[in-house]
Amino acid sequence: MELQSKYRTLRDVPQLDYLSPGGSLCAGCGGLLAVRLFHKVLGKNVVWVNAAGCMTIMVNYPLVPLKSNWLYTAFASAPAGAQGIRDALDILIKKGKIPESEDLKVVVVTGDGAAYDIGLQSTSGAIYRNLDFYYLCYDNQAYGNTGFQVSSATPVGSSTATTPATPSQPAGNIQKRKDLFEIWRAHNPPYIATLSSSYAVDFLKKVEKGSGFRGPKLYISLAGCPTGWGYDPRETIREEKLAVDTGIWPLKEAVEGKVRHTVVPRALRPVEEYLATQARYQHLFTPTKRIDVIRQIQNDVNSYWEGVADREGFDIKLVET
Amino acid sequence: MTSTRSMLMTGNLAAAWGARLGRADYIPAYPITPQTEIIETIAKWVRTGEIDAKLVQMESEHSMLTAAGAASLAGARVFTATSSQGLLYALEMLYNIAGWRAPMVLVNVARALAAPITLEPDHNDILAARDSGFLQFHAETCQEVLDLILLAYRVAEDSSVLLPAIVNLDGFYLSFTREKVDLPSEEDAAAFLPDYKPVNPFSASNPVSKGATVLNGALYSYFKYHMHASSLRARDVFEKASAEFERMFGRSYSPVETFMADDAEIVLVISNSFSTIGKQAVKRLRNRGIQAGLIKLRMLRPFPSSLVARYLSGRRGVAVFDQNISLGFGGIIYSEVLTSLYHRRNRPQLILPVIGGLGGKQITIEEMERIFEATKNELGSESPEPLFLMRSEELERTMNLVKTAKEVHS
């Protein structure tokens, strides 16, 4: 039985915001949007533990937009910072040195560079120790903060500053993304989900649902990146929605390891519709259309959803290639 | 002075007792030789309920120090220990923790750095942390290990300091040497070191940001200047705390210890466990009528420059024993001693650099005596020859091993 959620329509998105307006991040930052939504569900008693990335710039002394606590740690070890804070709060409450009303939800917030690459060891350690914390990865699919270099979250076909499309490498990046969801799932945390702010109700429900579990709660949120992906900042929600509707960004969760897709498009839209809107994929369309690469991306999406539809028992209309 | 009980204990055990009598709440840990006995001891105490603390074994020293600093900011009193490669692996976090102003205490069991990899000590590990913002206290004996940990918490947590501290002890020479150690009672330790009162910890009622970005060099300089000023203040705070420590426990600790130095013409500057051998050499030389003396650096950060200058000004010759090597330059402490003396009108005629004891290489009393002789011989010299201590039989044995290796592999 599913628990009744507080969040059923967009009208249920809480008005109360824990981030003040303004701030020093790029206009249209999908990562910031994810942080805002996440915070709305968790409420004010939060300590964010951050690793180097775009969000680091958000807390810019003395202009701190947060109405909650913040710690910048280092690139590789935000989950270990979360461990220290969680343990300290537990000890201090147990010893009666602070009242329970001073307890905080401990949330790691990192980009994909930290989550997929340099911080994977400390993430693995924290999950292994069954740390009671939230991990929010805003996945803009590259090292966005340093100027959009390839990360192990960068999709096939994307050009980045370090994998530009050239005559010898016409596809741009040719490495497949690491499957971080499955890497995390192999550690057996109680709750994992993917998110996109474009499906806000699904987003809020998942944060709410995860809150019901003690232990590691892990979230990978797609984070549209106007500067890195190359689109108009006002289009972030539209881009993220296209990613979901083309099947490129599946929205799913794993409760105690059991995977379920939470948003299933009845018919996938062609990936081409998504790729064509972003500068990072323009080399697939001009000067000549790289049908081979586009087809490869479409085939990967199709085979993913075919498998899922089979396992979870739903019908989905794939795109013919 | 109150009654205490004494126990034979290793330097590592003394360090664990430092954490215990300091009532550390939280000990993130990671094993590394020769430090392991410290965390194993504490882990056992936690499991038997002898101390009310949490120990968590992390997946690396980098994470261990991150957890340590973060827990300290949340309001726990934090203790941890590492060594050598572990300290270097965590070095990035030392800078962060100091910048967070988290007053935790870290014990380093000194061990030389790879490559070649070895288990025995010198001070290149601890001196690599010299510029991080951590205060540094260096122990000669097991008793000092314990006492300096209590003092380190007092100084680190002082509201005019608020910087983390490292207590250093030499691997093998101290970590595994048993000595008689006087244990303060829990009540006395608590009277000397009250509960940790964190300044602006993470909280629901009063949210704070730590480690915020500054996108401005002037702001960055402002923060760094404050850390520097706080570190300098730590010397006075240490001296006051140490006076109280002496009243309570009868043991006196100054940032710089002098040994037969009042009328000494030739003075050896040294730190850590080899000081004991240096003191033996001084005694022998005194018996032969030579005015030798020694000063031991107990505090390396802040560097007690004015004390060093006060004790060394007017001497004929000074030798600085560095158990470390800054490759391409020489001894690290040598340059700090030189700097402390440069502007003194009556600075010594000669300051001789000596490097010895790298990778735990034994130094005999005779070799220590040789340092004083070399200093005398070089008096008046414009560019003294640095002294690299290695006995001829050690060199011969080393060359034989190199020869054997060539034969084995040919």
Tally C-beta pairs within 8 A across A and B: 163
CA distance B70 to chain A (A): 5
- Measured from the Cβ of residue A149, the count of other Cβ atoms closer than 10 Å reads 16
- At A225, the amino acid letter reads C
Please state at what angle helix A120-128 crosses helix B61-74, rounded to 10 degrees: 70
Q: Which of B54, B72, B213 sits opposite A61 (nearest CB)?
A: B213
CB proximity B278 to A under 8 Å = no
pLDDT at A54 over 90: yes
Q: Are B142 and B243 in contact (CB under 8 A)?
A: no
- Sign of the CA dihedral running B312, B318, B324, B325: positive
Instruction: Flag the least confident range among B138-147, B304-313, B384-393.
Output: B384-393
DSSP-assigned letter for residue A234: G
- Cis status of the peptide bond prior to B281, with omega within 30 of 0: no
For residue B18, pLDDT over 80 is answered with: yes
For A213, the enclosing helix (H) or strand (E) is none
Is the predicted pLDDT of residue A22 greater than 90, yes or no?
Answer: no
pLDDT of B46 > 80? The answer is yes
Q: What is this model's ipTM?
A: 0.97
| A window 11-30, beta carbon within 8 A of B | 24
Residue B316 binned pLDDT confidence (cut-offs 50, 70, 90): very high
- pTM for this prediction: 0.97
Angle of helix B142-157 versus helix B11-21 axis, rounded to 10:
30
**Which residues of B are less than 8 Å from A71 in CB distance?**
70, 73, 100, 202, 209-211
Across the interface, whether the CB atoms of B204 and A92 are under 8 A apart is answered no
B-chain residues near A73 (CB < 8 A): 66, 70, 93, 96, 211
3-state SS assignment for residue B351:
strand
Q: How confident is the model at residue B393 (pLDDT cuts 50, 70, 90)?
A: very high
Phi and psi torsions of A70, nearest 5° = -145, 135
Q: Which residue of A has its CA nearest to B89?
A: A76
Q: Above 50 in pLDDT, residue B385? A: yes
Q: Is the dihedral of CA A293, A298, A303, A308 positive or negative?
A: positive
Beta carbons within 8 Å of A259's beta carbon, 6+ residues apart: A185, A252, A253, A311, A312
Strand partners, A46: A105
Q: Under a CB-based contact definition with an 8 Å cutoff, are residues B227 and A68 in contact?
A: no
The number of residues in chain B equals 410
Q: For residue B19, what are its two tokens?
A: 């954490």
A209-227 mean pLDDT: 98
Give me the pLDDT at residue A3, please.
67
Please give the distance of CA B282 from its chain centroid, rounded to a whole number: 23
Give the model's confidence band at B1: pLDDT under 50 very low, under 70 low, under 90 confident, else very high.
very low
Q: What integer pLDDT is reported at residue A23 of this predicted model?
A: 82
**Residue in B closest to A131 by C-alpha:** B56
Strands B165-170 and B135-138: parallel
